[in-house]
Amino acid sequence: MKNLGLSQNTSYNTKKNRGFGIAASLLWFSFLPLKVLAQQPPIKLPDMVQTQSGPVKVERLASLGEPWGMAWLPDGRLLITEKPGYLRIYSQGKLSDPIRGLPKIEYHGQGGLLDVEIDPNFPQNNLIYISYSEASLTQPNVTRDEGDPRLGKFNDHTDAILKGTAVARGKLINNELKDLEVIWRQFPKTIGRGHFGGRLVFAPDGKLFITSSDRQRSEPAQDLNGNLGKIIRINSDGSIPKDNPFISREGVRPEIWSYGHRNPIGAALNPKSKELWIHEMGALHGDELNIPVAGKNYGWPIVSNGDHYNGSRIPDHETMPKMAGPIYYWHPAISPSGFAFYTGTLFKGWLNNALIGSFNSEALVRLSIDGNNVSSEERIWLHRRIRDVIQAPDGSIWLLTDYKEGELLRLSPIDSQ
């Protein structure tokens, strides 16, 4: 298990030996804004950035409202979600009007319309899949969330809506979703807060992986009677695969693939191993890169290489080796979001590298992969919170930025122009 700090020689690369201690860690945290999502980026987008592979051109293609997820259609058009509840198509330099037929979406804070994915047999069935936060039809008689001291400044007592993540699918016909049906829901729904997860990835066998976050309640990640803090594996129609690890275990949700996860909002298939890789945000540092194995417990909130936002300590992964630990982690945190493996030829030397968006670093993070290990890391500074990452058919890299007035960006090496 490898970790990365500001440099390989920095004394606070590990929890056990971080020189600044918890007080300085809290000082770092005190500079985080209470309103995490800014209206717009603070500085101008660079036209070009330097990378270890040479200069890269940065193009701004479109303006969007809190964009979250992307998926390519077979004809080269790009589906894009906007968290307030809009699904659009980007094609030939233009954004479509919002696609009609979406379900009612509970938009607040981290919740809203999240990811989008197309069915492996889309040319035959026109099916697309969306994840989103939905409110319960029946609401409790409460006016505020009681909060959790461990969340520190990230408590939002004003949100008293009972809600959870859902995944639905429907047929994309012209500019409308038809025959929409919900195929999976988080259980149980909880009051307020964030951490919805919602990344959607189809495996080569046609099974659908869903990342389901802990809803900022921590302990449910260890409760197998619910599906919060889990990686989910279902068939494309919502039924349960017969080879899921807990399908024969009484009292356990049969859709669970792995558990003990905090807030995984990046997921991708490794092009060489065909295995699912995810990253997940730690609390106060300790972001993780994991390869979820069927039936394994990844430890949250019992162990972590970070701590709670109020400074209360969490034992390191190494203290409980029976739980699966990350193959790589970040301390200080990068707050990762979005995940793609590069399989193109446009960027020389990037083949099979992992590309991860970062909020804190305002960068695209490039990881060189050797088997199941990270051999090196590069941060490509863009001065933007990066929400999602996708490879285009031509091998360029397209990004979504995480702002109220967000952007669709395109990266391409200058020597290929």
Q: Annotated active-site positions, please?
A: 195
Distances, alpha carbon 284 to alpha carbons 115, 216, 307, 331, 367, in Å: 25, 13, 5, 9, 22
Distances, alpha carbon 375 to alpha carbons 1, 3, 287, 368, 369, in Å: 11, 11, 17, 6, 6
Q: What residue type is assigned to position 304 of the chain?
A: S
Overall residue count recorded for the chain in this entry: 417
Say how far apart CA 109 and CA 162 lie, in whole Å: 14
Distances, alpha carbon 180 to alpha carbons 102, 103, 202, 378, 396, in Å: 8, 8, 19, 41, 32
Q: How far apart are the first and last CA of the chain?
A: 39
Are 401 and 385 in contact by the 8 Å Cβ rule? The answer is yes
Q: Point out which residues pair with 212 in neighbouring strands.
A: 230
Six-digit token string for 355: 């590309």
Say how far apart CA 68 and CA 220 lie, in whole Å: 25
Q: Point out which residues pair with 364 in neighbouring strands.
A: 357, 380
Say how far apart CA 11 and CA 9 lie, in whole Å: 6
Q: What b-and-e string marks burial along 283-292, b requiring 16 or more CB atoms within 10 Å of the CB?
A: bbbbbbbbbb
Say how far apart CA 103 and CA 113 lie, in whole Å: 10
